[in-house]
């Protein structure tokens, strides 16, 4: 069982921190559906951004189960240390440091995966944050800045020496993220073999079968699932069952999905309010209904609605109609091809 500091997680399944996606309502839902651990959306280290509505929502952990993990991003050791302290004061029980984000906006600010170009700065940031707080500190990173500049093992050893208590490794370089490069499961396996801290494997884990294959191949302590959970958060339930039984559970019923969507949307509106809530909920509803009968025309209808009550009522009507003809949600099967060869 994965352990981070004093926290023993209930399983080896982690929901990835995804900006604009892994907010408090979605984290709670994924935890309820089987994720053993969740990390918040990235919070900037600049103090002048902490009081913005976006940051305040990201730092809202009401009703979340322990351990509450908050990811911070920046490039200044002192500011990162201060950000860690501030988030601990607001309830964070684990601090995660982002050195993996490939987005241009983040990298242009010399944060995220751009930090992998300066190993000395990486060490200073990690040491500053670890020394600033009494809670466990973890790190999310990549295999390097580019295929010509892979340094995952060196970064992992720097992290271990600095006191980092778990490492999440996305198996791509920053450059490869933009050409959809193949995930380097060999690199994850090599990092796991070279450090003593827990390693969480991340990258293209899109099915229970893939999760098991990655765990077996890399020896990682856990897997982190991101995009595959969008619209299908029960992937954690299915993966946990598959790891334990070697088979998949029954697909969720249409009524079960309707109920969890209903609860998810109400929690979403409570956090964001009407205007922002309606706009930001559209992507979640779109993911839930992608590939379902009548889903495309329903999404077109949905984009015309501006009130939360109307949006929720439309979702309820859609799933009520779907339930009339489908007891079990007509989902596309999980992909299984390619799990035999991961490198």
- Please choose, from the candidates 163, 93, 94, the residue with its C-alpha nearest in 3D space to the C-alpha of residue 126: 163
Task: Tell me the β-bridge partners of 70.
Answer: 95
d(CA 322, CA 227): 25
Q: What CA–CA distance (Å, rounded) separates 39 from 17? A: 5
Strand runs (DSSP E) across 59-132, as ranges? 69-73, 94-99
> Does residue 101 contact residue 90 with C-beta atoms inside 8 Å?
no
- In the structure encoding, which two tokens stand for residue 19, read together? 């900006």
In angstroms, rounded to a whole number, what is the distance separating the alpha carbons of residues 238 and 26?
A: 17
- CA diameter of the chain: 61
Place of tokens 């995804």: 18
Report the relative pairing of strands 7-8 and 3-4 from DSSP bridges. antiparallel
- The catalytic residue positions are 101
Look at residues 31, 120, 41, 30 and name the one whose alpha carbon lies nearest to residue 73: 41
Nearest in space to 42 (alpha carbons), one of 59, 28, 29 = 59
Query: DSSP character for 45?
Result: S
**Residues forming beta bridges with residue 69, ordered by sequence position:** 39, 94
Is there a cis peptide before residue 226, judged by omega within 30 degrees of 0? no
């Amino acid at each position: 069982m994965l352990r981070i500091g004093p926290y023993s997680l209930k399983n080896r399944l982690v929901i990835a921190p995804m900006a604009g996606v892994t907010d408090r309502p979605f984290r709670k839902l994924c935890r309820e559906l089987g994720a053993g651990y969740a990390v918040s959306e990235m919070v900037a280290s600049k103090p002048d951004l902490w009081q913005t509505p976006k940051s305040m929502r990201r730092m809202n952990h009401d009703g979340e189960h322990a351990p509450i993990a908050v990811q911070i991003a920046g490039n200044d050791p002192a500011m990162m240390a201060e950000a860690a302290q501030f988030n601990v004061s607001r309830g964070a029980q684990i601090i995660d440091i982002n050195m993996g984000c490939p987005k241009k906006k983040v990298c242009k600010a010399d944060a995220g995966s751009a930090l992998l170009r300066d190993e000395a700065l990486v060490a200073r940031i990690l040491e500053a944050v670890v020394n600033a707080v009494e809670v466990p500190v973890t790190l999310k990173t990549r295999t390097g800045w580019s295929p010509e500049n892979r340094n995952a093992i060196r970064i992992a050893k720097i992290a271990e020496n600095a006191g980092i208590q778990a490492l999440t490794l996305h198996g791509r370089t920053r450059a490869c993220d933009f050409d959809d490069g193949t995930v380097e499961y060999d690199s994850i396996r090599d990092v796991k073999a070279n450090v003593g801290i827990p390693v969480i494997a991340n990258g293209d884990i899109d099915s229970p079968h893939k999760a098991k294959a990655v765990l077996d191949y890399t020896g990682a302590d856990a897997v982190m699932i991101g995009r595959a959970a969008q619209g299908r958060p029960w992937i954690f339930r299915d993966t946990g069952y598959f790891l334990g039984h070697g088979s998949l559970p029954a697909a969720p019923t249409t009524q079960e999905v309707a109920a969890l969507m209903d609860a998810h949307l109400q929690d979403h509106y409570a956090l964001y309010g009407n205007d922002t809530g309606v706009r930001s909920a559209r992507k979640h509803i779109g993911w839930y209904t992608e590939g379902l009968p009548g889903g495309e025309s329903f999404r077109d209808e949905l984009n015309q609605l501006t009130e939360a009550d109307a949006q929720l009522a439309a979702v309820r009507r859609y799933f009520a109609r779907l339930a009339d003809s489908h007891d079990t949600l007509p989902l596309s099967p999980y992909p299984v091809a390619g799990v035999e060869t991961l490198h």
